[in-house]
Amino acid sequence: MATTEADLTRFDVVVAGLGITGAATALELARRGLRVLGIDARRPPHGDGASHGRTRIIRQAYYEHPLYVPLVQRAYAGWLALERETGRALLRETGGLHIGPPDGHLIEGVLRSAADHELDHTLLDRAEIRRRFPALATADDDVGVLEPRAGALLAEPCLEACLQAARAGGATLRTGVALEGWTAQTTAVAVHLSSGDVMASRLVLALGPWLPAFVDIGLDVERQTVFWYEPGPGNGVFDDRRVPLVLREYAPDRIVYAFPDFGDGVKCAIHHEGVVCTPDTVNRRPEPDDEMRVRMLLEAMMPGAAGRVADAAVCLYTNTADRHFSIGTREAGRIVVASACSGHGFKFAPAVAEVVADLVQDRAPQFDLAPFRPGR
């Protein structure tokens, strides 16, 4: 007997992709009492996408644009609530130091967001940077902005906590199940999965670097390499008691960042500047040339930190042309796109999840989504 639409399992919403955005969205929707199915072709946390790498930066004085500040403040509250709910340590506030020329994109942007939103921050000249943080080196014309609440999110524990809480809240999560497509109808959407079709009122696409294969909204995928360095013998000045998280504009609009040593080495990477790829074609092996560029920048910023390479990883940025997010609806609202991306989206997951849940429920989000309209 042929399967009919009436025979298919029904959910209020299917969330495709269980990286950090999808996992947080499944959790938020379950909290709101919806029947949620979350699916992922892999078994997160894994190292193939953009939700791995041990740590992610969280900061409020957002150099990219002040519009992100209320969103990240909401996200802070969400991470702290999830810590209490799951009993997991997810956030380490190390302080964050932004270094660069006073007229550069980084410093001007940080000061603009801090002023617009009255954020706690301290402007440091070069001498004060060296006095407070003798392990750091700066260029002659550098200044710094110190943000006390910046720090590190623990990437895999954050993702595991979202998945744990989503299951506890009633969400059905299936890994090893791939999205194959969908058929949007007037009042529902048939979601075609590798395990068979299901029916839902809404489908959320939180596929990260796999999203461009399903929707054409002007996304590019970029290969990024990250390295952990074991500081030289006897050099213990790079732990989070002595150095903060550091972002440095080392050339116009070019950023390198480094985390303090949490016991597994100093993590350092260049923000953007990777090659365009796809999840299927990307070279997942960090190459010597990748490491040499990062090593040179780290040594200029934290002399003595770039010792033996303790570990390395490749991750993927999913970028829009303007590097803002891509969040909105398609196909008469049946499809919700959730691409909080361009290499700075992880920290926002709890807040973006609330926005996506509002779209699923046809509510007006409390944040202005006009800058994030897909395909703008």
Catalytic residues: 52, 55-56, 267, 271, 315, 347
For residue 187, give the nearest of 331, 359, 32 by alpha carbon: 331
How far from the centroid of its chain's Cα atoms is residue 89's Cα? 18
Going from the C-alpha of 298 to that of each of 41, 186, 290, 301, 310, the distances in angstroms are: 36, 54, 13, 5, 14
Percent of the chain as helix, strand, coil, to the nearest 5 = 30, 30, 40
What's the angle, vertex CA 106, arms to CA 91 and CA 265, rounded to 5? Answer: 45
3-state secondary structure 179-242: EEEEEECCCCEEEEECCEEEEEEEEEECCHHHHHHCCCCCCEEEEEEEEEEECCCCCCCCECCC
Half-sphere exposure (Cβ direction) of 285: Cα atoms closer than 13 Å:
2
For residues 94 and 151, is the Cβ–Cβ distance under 8 A? Answer: yes
- Kindly report each contact of residues 250-253 with a partner whose C-beta sits within 8 Å and lies 24 or more positions away, as own/partner: 250/100, 250/297, 250/300, 250/301, 252/104, 252/105, 253/105
What one-character-per-residue DSSP string does 349-368 give? HHHHHHHHHHHHTTPPPSS-
For residue 25, give the nearest of 197, 163, 215 by alpha carbon: 163
For residues 130 and 136, is the Cβ–Cβ distance under 8 A? Answer: yes
For residues 258 and 302, is the Cβ–Cβ distance under 8 A? Answer: yes
Task: Report strand pairing: 55-58 vs 326-330.
Answer: unpaired
What's the angle, vertex CA 265, arms to CA 301 and CA 317, rounded to 5? Answer: 75
- Residue 56 backbone dihedrals phi, psi, to 5 degrees: -135, 145
